[in-house]
Amino acid sequence: MRYLRDYSGKFFKDIISQCERYGVDHRTVFNKTPLVLAAAAGNAALVKELMTAGAASELIDNQGLTAWQGALQRAAQNSKFASDLFPGVHEILAPASVSLKVDDRLIKIDANQGEFFLLHIFFATLHSRIGRRWGSLVPLTAVVLEKIISPLPGNVIADYRKKRSYISSLLSKNEIDSTNPYCKKLFKRKRTGNYIFNPKLAVRWKEEWVDIYSHANIGLLSGLDSESGKNLRNIIKSLISDDEVF
């Protein structure tokens, strides 16, 4: 992989040097692989070369995020990254589908379905939302989702799927108590227009079903021995139970 040394300055030269020394899927102290770092930086050329060298795109970091989800996390935080750099990474790394289980019902959501991006945005932004330490900021709304999705170009997500009305209809259609015959029970409504994951939602990981919040490793946020830690634990408790902390 020595020919990669021409890419993007010292930081990426260091990544390649470490790949040569420790392997293409080695972990940093934050449990991130080179592919995760390259994707989060929006360097599609490096992502492509790492994949060619055998990097595993399904590996996850401490937040349960794959390289593609890590790039989506940054896209949710930075509109310029979303419009300019995420599309190149998305083209290489986007999964074709996601497999879920709810109440013993198996669900497969393909990348061309409207729920696909909503589900992944909920997951990719989860740690940052809990980390704000204000329970009222944890649920997502159609307004916030529209703001996150709107900078993504049409070749990533169709323009009509960026509209608030469309997003709102998907959220209500897929909430736990929906009577829609195509409801996937992905979300739980905490209050009018505010949604979190259905705590009974499980994702397929390494041939096993893991509940969505365990897969996201949200317990990492609750270890602080302080008032902030107590507040985070209350928020997490509200996510996985029926307690109305928000």
- Taking each helix axis from N to C end, the angle separating 9-22 and 44-52, rounded to the nearest 10 degrees, works out to 10
Q: DSSP class of residue 197? A: E
Burial class (CB in 10 A: 0-12, 13-18, 19+), 73: buried
Asked if residues 176 and 185 have their Cβ atoms less than 8 Å apart, the reply is yes
Question: Are 21 and 34 contacting, i.e. CB atoms less than 8 angstroms apart?
Answer: no
Cα 184 to chain centroid distance, Å, stands at 18
pLDDT tens per residue, the chain (246 residues)? 443 334 456 667 777 788 888 899 999 888 999 999 999 999 999 999 899 999 999 999 999 999 999 999 999 999 999 999 999 999 999 999 999 999 999 999 999 999 999 999 999 999 888 877 676 778 999 999 999 999 999 999 999 999 999 999 999 999 999 999 999 999 999 889 999 999 999 999 988 999 999 999 887 766 555 556 677 677 777 777 755 544
Q: Which residues of 171-207 are buried (b: 16+ CB within 10 A; e: fewer)?
A: bbbbbbebeeeebbbbbbbbeeebbbbbeebbbeeee
At residue 107, φ and ψ (nearest 5 deg) are: -130, 130
Q: Letter for the amino acid at 150?
A: S
Express each pLDDT in 12-31 by its tens digit. 777 778 888 889 999 988 89
Q: What is the pLDDT of residue 1?
A: 41
The dihedral over CA atoms of 129, 131, 137, 141, expressed in degrees to the nearest 10, equals: 10
Structural domain spans, the chain = 1-94, 95-246
For the four alpha carbons of 189, 194, 199 and 202, in that order, the dihedral sign comes to positive
> What does the angle CA 111 – CA 83 – CA 204 come to, to the nearest 5 degrees?
30
Fold of the CATH domain 1-94: 1.25.40
In the prediction, which pLDDT does 226 show?
Answer: 55
Q: Which two structure tokens, joined as six digits, stand for 24? A: 């293409």
Quote the pLDDT of residue 242. 58
pLDDT score at 228: 63
Q: CB 242: neighbour CB atoms within 10 A?
A: 7
